Structure 1
Amino acid sequence: MTSRPAPEPAIATSWSGGVAEIRIGDGSRRNALPGRAWSQLAHQVVELGADSSLRVLVIRGHGDTFCAGSNMTDWVDADSGYVEESFAHMEAAFTAIEDCPVPVIAEIRGVAAGAGCQLALACDLRFMADSARIGMPIARLGILASPAFAARMVALAGPAAARELLYTGRLVDARTAVDLGLADDSVPEEHLAARTSNLAAAVAEQPPAAIRAAKLAVAAALAPQREAAAANPRPAVARSDFDRAIAAFLGQRSAAAAVPPAAP
């Protein structure tokens, strides 16, 4: 009997010198994560940040995509408490990244959507493959944009762009993301890993105390926005719209999976 390979972990960590890497997902569902994996991510970032040898943290997705947000099958028949808890786990992961004492770089392939977009925006720098897209297509799912979600977009792209992207759910390409301020660079996909590695190495060569101080200084400048967002908690979803949207989305996926492939 042939044994099956062990499944990839939802959150995997590796080190190279003073640079740590977190890989998101296992390659399935475009690396969308269930609530427990967001909690695992928060824990992993805090643990890495506590290591004095850490200089830079890189976050990338498994395979050819970054993160499509949350795994919606996790919410089928879930009660409101569980759904709200899932969003709290996501926000804890984003906050852990923002509070990590060293620079965090997002390397984005494929798509960074919904919670995946927020994951990228919580990082200090974002490099995107020129074929990648980013955005917050959450309104159609009955998900209510939180003040914290909006604050991250406003801080990078300004209120006008944040409104348009949140109202329409539009995903923007890498070049547009750079123009809006949502990404720092658009790179041909075959050069993306090198772009990330080179920047991580350049940061790692700087005096650690100076880099950590720089991150704290930027965080202090953004503190009023973050504090205002945290002071205005709201429900995560409009429940009836959310339930209908989840059922419709998963129904469409099931129907698509049932269609036999075309003959070559």
Structure 2
Amino acid sequence: MTAELQHADPPAHTPPLVEARADGPIAEITLGSGAKRNALTGEGWTQVERSIRELGDNDAVRAVIVRGRGDTFCAGSDMTEWPDAEPETIEDSFARMEAAFRAVEECPVPVVAEIHGVAAGAGCQLALACDLRFIADSARLGMPIARLGIMASPSFAARMVALAGPSTTRQLLYTGRLLDGPAAVKAGLADWHLPGTMLTTFTQRTVGRIAEQPPAAVRAVKSAVSATLAPIRDATRHNDRPAVSLDDFRLGIATFLG
């Protein structure tokens, strides 16, 4: 969903679009194949939704870590699906993204994003939907979507407003500026920044501490916080506007892919 850089050539052996593992109380979801900076197709976003809901239904799971394959989180949606797509197909793609984000927000256990590389566009929205975000100092996070003719939906804006406030949200959505790790924490869009080499250890240690707490109490925390956010989530659930300004979108996609 973003014009952030995407590698063109997939590896010889392509891993699944989304891989979910639940070998113990801490589950992990790995995004992408490592190609195109883990930009996901519409089917990939559906796999994210399905994986999150399945893990949330697993009573043995106490927390979920979401990370990208390789050295990046997720550069958004795979725009190679869109050059000749009909409006209905484009709308379906955005509906699949939103369903994935809602699944994260509705998951009964904490979902933690570990962000290396880039989390942009839909990748940024996925991170914002998580309960906590830990980010590498050199990573970049933001929503450079206006230049593609993508219409920021109320739910997109709401996730950012809830964390960073309306003024910062306006600035980032108007300009498409990406924030590095320290700037993302300062803006409220991430919770902790560290050197990339330390990030996975920090994430695992912190999520391990969450998993050590009584599971009913942790689920109660998530439910309580979700209840405070319910009014804005409910108010922005329905969007009557199209996902894109079609002419601008087609031009933006063609320019990017060209």
- Shorter-chain TM range is over 0.9
How do 1:55-204 residues align onto structure 2 when only pairs under 5 Å count?
Answer: 55-204=62-211
Quote the RMSD (CA, aligned, Å).
Answer: 1.0
Cα deviation digits, residues 27-70 of structure 1 (max 9, x gap):
10000001111011101110110000010000000000000000
Structure 2: distance between partners of 1:60 and 1:147: 26
| Larger Cα-atom Rg | 1
How do 1:219-230 residues align onto structure 2 when only pairs under 5 Å count?
Answer: 219-230=226-237
How do 1:202-241 residues align onto structure 2 when only pairs under 5 Å count?
Answer: 202-241=209-248
Question: Could you tell me whether the CA contact under 8 Å between 2:18 and 2:47 is conserved in 1?
Answer: yes
Cα offset for 1:16?
A: 4.1
Structure 1: distance between partners of 2:51 and 2:135: 23
SS at match of 1:131: coil
Cα deviation digits, residues 63-94 of structure 1 (max 9, x gap):
00000000000112000000000000000000
TM-score (norm 1): 0.92
SS at match of 1:20: strand
Residue 44 (str. 1) matches residue 31 (str. 2): no
SS at match of 2:138: coil
Cα deviation digits, residues 146-200 of structure 1 (max 9, x gap):
0000000000000000000000000011101001100000011110001100111
Instruction: Indicate the larger mover: 54-63 or 226-235.
Output: 226-235
Structure 1 regions of 5+ residues with no counterpart?
A: 252-264
Question: Partner letter of residue 69 of structure 2?
Answer: H
Structure 2: distance between partners of 1:50 and 1:107: 22
Structure 1: distance between partners of 2:68 and 2:162: 24
Tell me the equivalent position of 1:250: 257
Structure 1: distance between partners of 2:231 and 2:177: 28
SS at match of 1:230: coil
Structure 2: distance between partners of 1:90 and 1:102: 20
Structure 2: distance between partners of 1:220 and 1:81: 33
Aligned residue-pair number: 248
TM-score (norm 2): 0.94
Structure 2 regions of 5+ residues with no counterpart?
A: 1-10
Question: Could you tell me whether the CA contact under 8 Å between 1:109 and 1:132 is conserved in 2?
Answer: yes
Residue 19 (str. 1) matches residue 26 (str. 2): yes
Question: Could you tell me whether the CA contact under 8 Å between 2:22 and 2:61 is conserved in 1?
Answer: no
Cα offset for 1:5?
A: 5.8
Structure 1: distance between partners of 2:241 and 2:217: 37
